[in-house]
Amino acid sequence: MKVFAVELHHYREWTETLGYDREWKIQLAQSKLSFFVNKFSLRIDAFPLMTRMDRFLIIADGIRNSHFKNLFSKLKEYSPVELRGCMGYGRNFLEAEQVASKCLNELRPGELEVLDHPDSKVVAIHADVDSFTELTERSSIYSSFRRSMEVMVELQRIAEGHGSLVQYLGGDNFMIFSSLDEFRGILEAPLNEVKFGVGICENPRCAVSKATEALTRIRETRDSKWKVIENVRS
């Protein structure tokens, strides 16, 4: 499995040059960068995990290395500091992320390392909390947000136990990236309030699309906790 990691080098030092009234400036800069990371990832059929904002990950299987070199070059135009980028490879996404993170620390500012590695099918799991709208209506916006974060922590614990990564999508939606060998262990976890739409495909964008399709079918039929849709090439 492959994960492309990017770091905004000396980002903290840059933020400290903005004065005391800086948090809104930082949020605007992060929002702008997030927009372009998502936009450029979409174009190459990848999917980003924004994580810390000063460091982010992109699920990379099924995508040519040249696309990541171009993406890295484009992002330099929108970053307030120099970037470092590295492709990590491992038995699962968690291991690939750890390899990529270690690699970043060994690079100079502005440096990119993208080596050739074999591709694997991507398993995307779109997780959704049951009756979340009703929870929000009978409690409050912040209470429902707190519940989302509780689910996020639980999903992270389960996913990491199966070599997988989780991204919070907003509301009560989460995306888990896993492998063919590990994903069923996540589905079998004791999370009664969560349903899972699973997509399996050659690249992240396709897998996420299939996962959302599977989740939509669960919502329509209400007859299962999870459903798997695998892309079949004609």
76-90 pLDDT, tens per residue?
999 999 999 999 999
CATH class of 122-230: alpha beta
Predicted pLDDT at 5? 97
Predicted pLDDT at 131? 65
Domain 2-113: give its CATH code: 3.30.70.1230
Please tell me if the domain spanning 2-113 has the same topology as the one spanning 122-230: yes
Predicted pLDDT at 132? 64
Classify 201 as helix, strand or coil.
Answer: strand
pTM: 0.92
Predicted pLDDT at 108? 95
3-state secondary structure 104-133: HCCCCCCCEECCCCCCCCEEEEEEEECCHH
Question: How far apart are alpha carbons 3 and 164 in whole angstroms?
Answer: 11
User: Domain residue spans in the chain?
Assistant: 2-113, 122-230
Predicted pLDDT at 48? 96
Decide: 198 and 116 in contact? Cβ < 8 Å: no
Per-residue pLDDT of the chain (234 residues; tens, 9 = 90+): 999 999 999 999 999 999 999 999 999 999 999 999 999 999 999 999 988 889 999 999 999 999 999 999 999 999 999 999 999 999 999 999 999 999 999 999 999 999 999 999 999 999 988 766 676 778 888 988 888 888 899 999 999 999 999 999 988 899 999 999 999 999 988 887 899 999 999 999 999 999 999 999 998 888 888 999 998 764
